[in-house]
A and B are shown apart, each in its own frame.
Chain A
């Protein structure tokens, strides 16, 4: 199985900050990568697919980049609603695999 490693595990930030989360795959996944946001007690929400395509309705302050094994999720001007846990997921092959998650908390 392809292993997905996110860093950092936890990130403390303030409203208005620019935040970057990285995700590394154990082998090349081309650009078959998605990013999700999850809040406590809720189902995940798709933010980005195909590494850099913004899902409909997701604010443009979210962006994704990368290909091969290294990927980045960037949140420009962090908003109060953005404090949550973020997961990357590869879908180049079964088994589909997720990163362990990055929690963005209020500084």
Chain B
């Protein structure tokens, strides 16, 4: 079964840091540009970060303007895990963070989603 499981969310103070993980199973993780998508409470979906291009040996990371310079995406193909290092957190980063797998053929529409992990930024 194709599955994504996020972890690492929690309560953090403004200005703090958090590292999210997304463990993948059931598909070839190294060949797929898994992304992070978030949803603030009661709000819509916002793409946060992902890789593009050739994934097996790298691929370029991309970020939404709202997180650029504060968040860093990385991956460990040996562990089938995607990470999101979040620094200088703000109240507006409060959201459920999902990781999502793109469909085959290089199209970044997402056919598999995790259940999400909640990040709350508050003092």
Residues of A whose CB lies within 8 Å of any CB of B are 1, 32, 34, 36, 38, 43-46, 49-50, 55, 87, 89, 91, 94-101
Chain A nearest CB, measured from B72 CB (Å): 16
Query: Which chain B residues lie closer than 8 Å to A91 at the CB level?
Result: 107-109
Beyond A38-B45, A98-B45, 8 additional contacts (C-beta under 8 Å) are A32-B107, A43-B116, A50-B107, A91-B107, A94-B50, A95-B63, A95-B64, A96-B50
Interface of A is mostly: loop
B11 within 8 A of A: no
B residues contacting A by CB (< 8 A) are: 35, 44-47, 50, 52, 62-65, 98, 103, 107-111, 113-116
Complexed CA–CA distance, A95 and B115 (Å): 23
Q: Is the CB of A43 within 8 A of B115?
A: yes
Given A34-B109, A50-B107, also A97-B114 (CB < 8 A): no
Chain A hits for B44, CB < 8 A: 87, 98-101
Residues of B within 8 Å of A50, CB to CB, are 107, 109
